[in-house]
Amino acid sequence: MSRVCIVGAGFTGLSAAYELASAGYPVTIFEKDPAVGGLAGSFRVGNQMLEKFYHHWFNSDRYIMDLVRKLDVEDKILFRESRTGMYYSHRFFKLSSPMDVLRFKPLSFPNRIRLGLGALAARRIENWTNLESITAREWLLQLFGKQVYEVVWEPLLIGKFGKVSTEVSAVWFWNKLKLRGGSRAKGGAEQLVYFKGGFAALAERMAEEIVRLGGEIRTNCEVTRLDVFDQRAVRVHSHSETVEADAVILTTPLPIAAELLKPHTEPDYIAGLGRIRYLSNICLVLELDRSLSDLYWVNVNDPSFPFVGVIEHTNFEPASSYGGRHIVYLSKYLPREAELYNMPHEDLLDFSINALRRMFPDFSKESVKAYHVWRADYSQPIIEKQYSALIPDVRTPIENLYLATMAQVYPEDRGTNYAVRGGLQVASMVKARLAEVASAI
Ligand SMILES: Cc1cc2nc3c(=O)[nH]c(=O)nc-3n(C[C@H](O)[C@H](O)[C@H](O)COP(=O)(O)OP(=O)(O)OC[C@H]3O[C@@H](n4cnc5c(N)ncnc54)[C@H](O)[C@@H]3O)c2cc1C
């Protein structure tokens, strides 16, 4: 039967491979990292795996939930109420429920109502295509007015996208409001979802199933070259081996896919792939002997603070899972050339602790029992106006080569749920095409 080679063992590559292997196709996944999981990959803290970059699901994330059910590990899904807050003007505010919004002092009372009603109105929008032609800034100002925009949304937009924040499309922000605002328990409190054993446990479970179905997963195996003959990809090369392919799926960030495709496609096509820009992300993960606050997720609405979020993971998954250590992520999206992104680890730690002490004056370096720094060059596509026109098709100019990447997730923003959807979609296309080819022989 025809062999499908998949480049990348993130959630897109794994779900495509699982789907194809379930249908009886031999699959080979190439992954440059030592382990599967991609951006949702993990590392060990004590006896437990922890995501390099904080991860949770929303309770509406149906593609991943369906997958979990199919893999027969539904009992590992953990629904949890989460406490979200905001750091603004040197104070913390809880912002998890409608009551919290009504008590949110930095806004005038009428504007607190406007914040709540605006968020509800945003969530009710179904037809997002009208939002494609305006920026998030323009849309948010219209919907929420100046005070709500300046206190609540503008610092977040700038904190996340920096210099390009004024280019971000309303579609991106609409989706954030819809997704996060919609993930609620019955009483109206925010509810998020985690997986027992972490995202690594799910990625490993998928890998195990792919192998059981006859698939192969090559880790530490970076794809360096493709052979294309007569407009068909025929071989995939890594440093250590070469595999013959009847179809190839690339799930890497677009700039990496472009490098692999460059020798085989027209310059215009490669330029089109390059048109989508990405931000990088740096996460400093602290293992602490104490908790910082009772909030899981703190949006930092203070432009002088170097990180956009302080995420105390152990207010979501208990510290007991990590040998009593309290886990805090400090996250920042930024261009690859930014100073913070390139800082030596020790300097980054000292710099971050100084910043944290402004927020938590009792905090000291002695509480840091270990720390880890994770970087991802391509972590967030910049969703600008009319983004739909920039998205490359899953089909490429090479007949049996497909692209299924994070940057093609739209109008939703990237996420493992949509990675699974993308993986399933591309697998269906590949199956249909291979069946067509087989029946023509
Ligand atoms: C800071 C941060 C927080 C996030 N939070 C969440 C969250 O809370 N919930 C959520 O669902 N999602 C979250 N996401 C998004 C989520 O991680 C991604 O959407 C998802 O993991 C993308 O999966 P993917 O398979 O499409 O891409 P990737 O995970 O990027 O997988 C691509 C894979 O290709 C491999 N690769 C690249 N080049 C080569 C090559 N030449 N040869 C072989 N392999 C190669 C890479 O190593 C990688 O493993 C977050 C992302 C970030 C950065």
Q: pLDDT tier at 437 (50, 70, 90 boundaries)?
A: confident
Residue 327 lies in a domain: no
Whether residue 199 contacts residue 416, with contact meaning beta carbons closer than 8 Å, is answered with: yes
**CATH number (domain holding residue 248):** 3.50.50.60
SS3 at position 272: helix
Whether residue 154 contacts residue 277, with contact meaning beta carbons closer than 8 Å, is answered with: no
Which numbered atom of ligand 1 lies nearest the CA of 260? 41
How far apart (Å, rounded) are the C-alpha atoms in residues 359 and 378?
29
User: Tokens at residue 42, please?
Assistant: 């993990």
Residues 119 and 148 in one domain: yes
Question: What are 347-404's pLDDT values in tens digits?
Answer: 999 999 999 999 999 999 999 999 999 999 999 999 999 999 999 999 999 999 999 9
Q: pLDDT tier at 96 (50, 70, 90 boundaries)?
A: confident
Q: What is the 367 CA–ligand 1 centroid distance (Å)? A: 31
Question: What are 312-326's pLDDT values in tens digits?
Answer: 999 999 999 999 999
Residues 175 and 201 in one domain: no
Say how many residues make up the chain.
441
How far apart (Å, rounded) are the C-alpha atoms in residues 292 and 294?
7
Tell me which residues have their CB closer than 6 angstroms to ligand 1. 7-13, 30-33, 38-40, 53-57, 222-223, 251-252, 256, 281, 283, 331, 376, 379, 405-406, 414-417, 419
User: Tokens at residue 101, please?
Assistant: 């919004």
Residue 244 lies in a domain: yes
Residue 285 lies in a domain: no
Total tally of structural domains belonging to the chain: 2
Residues 175 and 50 in one domain: no
Residue 379 lies in a domain: no
Question: What are 136-173's pLDDT values in tens digits?
Answer: 999 999 999 999 999 999 999 999 999 999 999 999 99
Question: What are 180-227's pLDDT values in tens digits?
Answer: 777 778 777 789 999 999 999 999 999 999 999 999 999 999 999 999
Which numbered atom of ligand 1 lies nearest the CA of 13? 25
The position carrying tokens 């400093």 is 284
Residues 269 and 140 in one domain: no
* Final residue belonging to a domain, choices 179, 214, 234: 179
Over range 411-432, report the average pLDDT. Answer: 97
Q: Which residue minimizes the CA distance to atom 13 of ligand 1? A: 415
* Final residue belonging to a domain, choices 179, 213, 248: 179
The residue type at 282: I
Residues 271 and 203 in one domain: yes
Residues 201 and 247 in one domain: yes
Look up the domain containing 169 and give its range. 97-179
Residues 138 and 211 in one domain: no
Mean pLDDT over each residue of the chain, to the nearest integer? 95
Q: Which residue minimizes the CA distance to atom 19 of ligand 1? A: 415
Give the count of beta carbons closer than 10 Å to the beta carbon of residue 397. Answer: 14
* Final residue belonging to a domain, choices 128, 152, 179: 179
Please choose from 202, 252, 256, 316 the residue to mutate so as to test ligand 1's pocket, defined by most ligand atoms within 8 A of CB. Answer: 252
Residue 13 lies in a domain: yes
Residue 324 lies in a domain: no
Residues 26 and 162 in one domain: no
How far apart (Å, rounded) are the C-alpha atoms in residues 415 and 406?
8
Residues 271 and 395 in one domain: yes
Residue 356 lies in a domain: no
Residues 35 and 172 in one domain: no
Residues 121 and 259 in one domain: no
Whether residue 345 contacts residue 373, with contact meaning beta carbons closer than 8 Å, is answered with: yes
Residue 167 lies in a domain: yes
SS3 at position 60: coil
Which numbered atom of ligand 1 lies nearest the CA of 333? 1
Task: Tell me phi and psi for residue 47, to 5 degrees.
Answer: -95, 10
Q: What is the pLDDT of residue 207?
A: 98
What is the gyration radius of the CA atoms in the chain, in angstroms?
22
Residues 103 and 133 in one domain: yes
Which numbered atom of ligand 1 lies nearest the CA of 39? 29
Whether residue 207 contacts residue 217, with contact meaning beta carbons closer than 8 Å, is answered with: yes
